[in-house]
Copies of this chain bind each other. A is one copy, B any other.
């Protein structure tokens, strides 16, 4: 009996403890969330803003005239509802694609097959006449290294490890492959390769080559080699032809230019907090994009959703306790200079950022958020989950936030990233088909509503210290 009594007391204490972690929200909050979703699904501007960014401005590579137009456009739109806007100056790298890339496979009988490629961002060009060389296919940087200079020198290295279709979260499949794109040229350059072509980071088999950032790392400039992505269909083809004809040659011509750094801007807008104006909540996406498509999913969606968070709160006549800011970061794609500058200035000004939320995973149906925070704070966040159930938001997990809010990481800042359904994201990522028509209006709006709801809760309840 004593033992049972002991268990009971423990159990009661357990209940009491559980009580301390019980839901931190009220009926008012569920009404507010309903208003936020209703507003977004019926009156929001996010889809129109995205239409303009995608169809009127287009791809917005850092340092391009399109990026500067996007700065102007978004600042002007934000001025319509924010208490204050600011353009935060930042130096960003500038790289341009030049005339369209061209490539073909030349078989032993001299017949040729054109293939779809694109230069990787940051790559040097080929000589004007292009280059032609035999190809060696590898599945990894490790395989490359095991082959050594003897088998690599004078050849084009073809990295052909596909994204793993068994990963449910496609970003994990991306993470398992992207070393080929980012470091492929640096590693192949060490062994005297003349160029690299990388299978596109795409789970589908289609004809779109997907660009993305690459780096030569510490490679001496004289060892830099051109780097291109090849569509998944053509990667399959090239691999099949290589199995039949190891002597085939690959012709590659690209015309890109690496320029010096140029000035650009983070676009910032704020609604002043009424009670704790010195506590900042920021919500953002990145204004730059790759140049092949319109950057509608990556990250036009995140940009307009973040703008919509502030506009929604304003239109619903909500007076935030804390200062809420939208930050449209410049240069996420090829440098992260905007994010670093923002974090640096925040530190210099000793600003207290309590919560930073990023949307940079596409404008698809929202599923929830991932958080970078303490277990204690996570318990509070989890207690809000029931509020989101009517909106089918179920994913509240520890583990990562986003590239642009990452530099704000600190003991008292909760970082988070919106997690939309990821199944179709890499169909469009960094490719010519990342266009406005690939974004569904409702899915975009539901994402903005979900972000607004979380921002509202952080504003109302603050964070645990």
Contact = CB atoms under 8 A, between A and B. Distances in A.
Interface string A430-451: 0000000000111100100000
Interface residues of A, number: 35
Contact of A442 (B12, B42, B165, B395): B165
Nearest to A424: B440
A365 interface: yes
Given A394-B394, A427-B440, A42 B166 contact: yes
A449 to B, nearest CB: 10
In the complex, which of the residues A392, A421, A443 has the most CB atoms of chain B within 10 Å of its own CB atom? A392
Interface in A5-51: 5, 7-9, 11-12, 15, 37-38, 41-42
B11 A442 contact: no
A418 to B, nearest CB: 15
Nearest to A34: B166
Interface string A346-372: 000000000000000000010100000
A37 B168 contact: yes
Interface in A387-408: 390-392, 394-395
Contacts of A38: 166
A207 to B, nearest CB: 14
Contact of A423 (B168, B204, B423, B442): B442
A280 to B, nearest CB: 31
Contacts of A240: none
A204 B367 CA distance: 21
A368 to B, nearest CB: 9
Given A41-B165, A165-B442, 10 more contacts: A4-B12, A5-B5, A7-B8, A8-B12, A11-B15, A169-B392, A170-B442, A365-B423, A367-B392, A424-B440
